Amino acid sequence: MHPAQAIHVSLEFMHLLHKYFYCALFNFCNSLTFFSFPPILLTHLTYPATINAGYAIIAVGYIEMEIDYIREFVTLADVGNYMEAADILFISQSTLSRHIKSIEEDLGAPLFDRTTRKVVINDFGKIFLPYAKQIMNLQYDYTTALFNHQNNISETITIGAIPVMAQYHITDVLADFQRENRNFKVHIIEADSSELKEMLRNEQCDFAFIREHDDSDNEFVKIPFTTDHMVAVLPSSHPLSSASSISLEQLKDENFLFLNKGTLMHTLCVNACKSAGFRPNIAFTGYRAENIISLVRKEMGVALLTKKPAVYLAGPDISIVDVTPCFTTTISLAYSKKKELGNAAKHFINSVKARPKL
């Protein structure tokens, strides 16, 4: 546990807080038959003054677990693969495995059936899953309620984001934060990652959701939000449209439709083609992925995009095929290391950390 300063809240609020967590775990434990517990009592709940998501520890009867571990369990249950879940959570597979085993030891039962390639949630895990999600939601609710109670002031924060906000649920993050924090004003700017970084440097925005391929840049503080990987977007009439995966070399004679020069995706796509041994014949560049996909549908060429926006926009007559080798990008919430964070900014960081990774 991180050292915590004293947090002054009303006794009534603490009773409600205990009650909510108690109900979630009480309902879970009493839905199982393999437990031989004495009557379950909520003994304590501690958390740091900054109310950072994940440091809260729930202790119920003989069960004690960190909320971060619960979030990791939910992610693994959703994707069914340790490698993919670890990538989403930005932790190692060994760390994820250790945390899942810790939960299973606390609960006294395995939550997954493990095979060589994937993990499948079992009956115990299926019972635990809805309560785990409820605990995550309650944690965000209580941190928001507590923060708003302590900080009844009006502030404005400016948040930049890459154009594919909806495809990565960034719009959901911003809308939820604004709805739950009416005393804060949120100003949103849309721009490419390179422009957003410059805005951060010039203090034109407080935060920015940026995309990166190489995370070696340590100029900014970054909170991992989600990951994605490159795919080929083909017309359904293309000979390779039904393939499970293709190499870029197989597309070397195609006309390519790319996002504009100067964007991260343009640079990544050109460099990927060069690594495959050819220079791409670029027939079109544009700002909007939907225009590129529309041209693919009309058989004007093929595109290289990241998967989540491609799936979101595809529609009929479009095939999306994974590219090998895999080229991965990371979406992170970034802010300047030099920036002095106000109350609204600190709470926005906590709200992003509290959300499950996508």
Comparing 62 with 314, the larger pLDDT belongs to 314
Q: What is the pLDDT of residue 13?
A: 39
Q: What is the pLDDT of residue 276?
A: 95
Domains of the chain as residue ranges with CATH = 11-150 (1.10.10.10), 155-225+330-354 (3.40.190.10), 227-328 (3.40.190.290)
Arithmetic mean of pLDDT, 37-46: 34
Q: List 334's β-bridge partners, or say none.
A: 208, 222
With cut-offs at 50, 70 and 90, classify the pLDDT of residue 7: very low
Would the pLDDT of 129 be above 80? Answer: yes
188-222 pLDDT tens trace: 999 999 999 999 999 999 999 999 987 667 889 89
Q: What is the pLDDT of residue 150?
A: 63
Reported residue count of the chain is 358
Arithmetic mean of pLDDT, 310-323: 94
Which tokens go with 356? 């499950």
Q: Which amino acid is at 114?
A: R
Arithmetic mean of pLDDT, 54-80: 67
Q: What is the pLDDT of residue 253?
A: 96
Q: What is the pLDDT of residue 182?
A: 80
